[in-house]
Chain A
Amino acid sequence: MFKLLLIWRYFVRKRVALIAVLAVTLLVMMVLVVLSVMSGLIENTRSRNHNWTGDIVLTRHSLVGFPYYDEFIDRLYQSDIIAQATPVIKTYGLLEADWTTPLIGVRLDEFMHVTGFAECLYKTTDENKTFTVPDITDPGPDTPSLTPEQRKRGFMRGGFLRSSSSDLMDSIWQSSQLRYYLPLPITVFAINSRGLLTGSQAGENQTFWFVNYFRTDLLDVDDTIMVDFDELQKLCWMDGQDGQPPRASQIRIKLKDNLDLETAQTQIAQLWRKFVQQKDKQGQAQLLTDLTVQTWKEYRRDYIGPMENEKTLMIIIFSMIGSVAVFIIFAIFYMIVTEKIKDLGIIKSLGASKWDLAQVFLGYGALVGMVGSLLGTALGCAIVLNANKIEGWLNQEFGFRLWPPDIYAIDKIPDVVNFSEAAIIALVAVLASLAGALLPARRAAKLVVVDALRIE
């Protein structure tokens, strides 16, 4: 019982211990803020990538693509694993003499069911969720008149201006002077199933018309032009006009609810292998053998991985910084033990054991850790939950933005605290404090009573 009394008295009367508490508080606060923001950014990144990809992707990493995609999609529907599947074409186009851009062809309606693409559109009315070029409400003298064939060739442009206000974007939208409102001629070089150039040797040209913007906040995706699957397939000579089965580059899949992602991946991969075996004797079967079946996490690994690695690196760096706090506590406690060595001798002379003396300092260390963790957690939570207000204030007072939205593709700083992470950080801080108190506690336990009592 005397241990609790002494721990408390030393804590409230030894001002130097406040330094140790402050060290723990600042460390916990720092770690909590940084890891919360990083976790929020990672979650944001994962969510955006998942939203763009769907759950599972079958891909042939080649501009040639692969055949029999619709047949396999039918097999998928029969398997009862999937909610929706859709083919996708990925290729490259020439917009001007020296400007290439990735092109992607989708069946928009299906694509919006497989992915969260509908949320990425700038204009989200039903008439804007289509590649059909809408009627112009106020045509000018230069406004072209489109045939029904031409009206099927709408395109969507990725990455609308982030730093613009919605008023500005609306006025751009309405403006007949807007460049992307004009026709956009696109040239592709068609490749046959053997990987050779086909069609016109000068490239296949087609004009598309602006219908909408989209923004996924994924840098590689927002640099894309999106058109109708059938139109792009025809342009690339992948539609079977050369007598070969039609081809696609990918199949994107949305699974049914509550299915385990990795288990579904394995099942789909098995289905594909079986399908490939059955198609073994058919034309272009060689194009089926090198597809990958990936979860969205694997497919977008190159974009998610670096952020997760950064978080891991942050944890390692903060562990090193945390060791500084351990040393601070060690130094302070060693000093206190030295100062209190006579008191410890007195207590031992009254019958306290070595373990009793060690417990006083271990308990003291734990108390410093607990108080520091509580304060640090409270401060850290307050900062995270008000991160955007703080950044707003910094911007207002000093013209300073920590994360400019047009560079970092975020509307706001993540301001959610993961309380299980916070609890782990607090627990680690308490353990670190205990570690700092360990050697001083050992010194206290090993003291010789008469030597301690001789100290003046």
Chain B
Amino acid sequence: MSKEIIKIEDLKRDFVMGTETVHALRGISFTIHEGEFVTIMGSSGSGKSTLLNILGCLDQPTDGSYKIDGLKVKDLGRNQLATIRNEKIGFIFQSYNLLARTSALENVELPLLYNSKVSTEERKKRAIKALEMVGLADRMDHTPSELSGGQQQRVAIARSLVNNPVMILADEATGNLDTRTSYEIMSLFQHLNKQGITIAFVTHEPDIATFSNRTVVLRDGNIIKDYKNTNILSAAEELEKLPKQDD
């Protein structure tokens, strides 16, 4: 079996709201191995955002254990969590979260700015390489307002790749895009996954799940389904099947 990237056991997260305690996660366990493309599904309120925050080291579980790349995350301080986020995780958000009026290249360089081990030259080299991987090598100097939604999300993907993370964490990464563009993005994810990059993709759209090789379904803070996808669709092929746009 390949390396365990994420291993959670009996993970619980409670929120205290006044006198009431909300159990957002009620003890879930799963393991993600290197090279997997997992979609985490669930309707709103199912706890998937809470799970994502914990997986992304933005939040700490109330109980249970969480290991990323062999590192125990529980009981780490804010600064140590920041270092883990910087070195092990690549974030992709629904609303891209690019810095306005800042070129694509500089946006991609951002995570490396917070890593003192990376020199200025290397930072630039790696950012260019990441942009090449998402097919935007010719748009390096464009600011987000000069890019389409799909291109902006590609810049965000390049940004998540630039620090060579052990896992990419995507939060509704196609939520703001039309079907055609989201298939393009999914095909990019599939392509990256084929190169060995582990991806955890949080979504509520069932058709997105068909592109991944494993699906975890959450409801009310529990995992109700966790299955390997036997019939993985190719996003590139699906894109071909979409009605041609007449322009």
Tell whether A pairs with B.
no
Residues of B participating in the A interface, judged by any CB pair closer than 8 Å: none
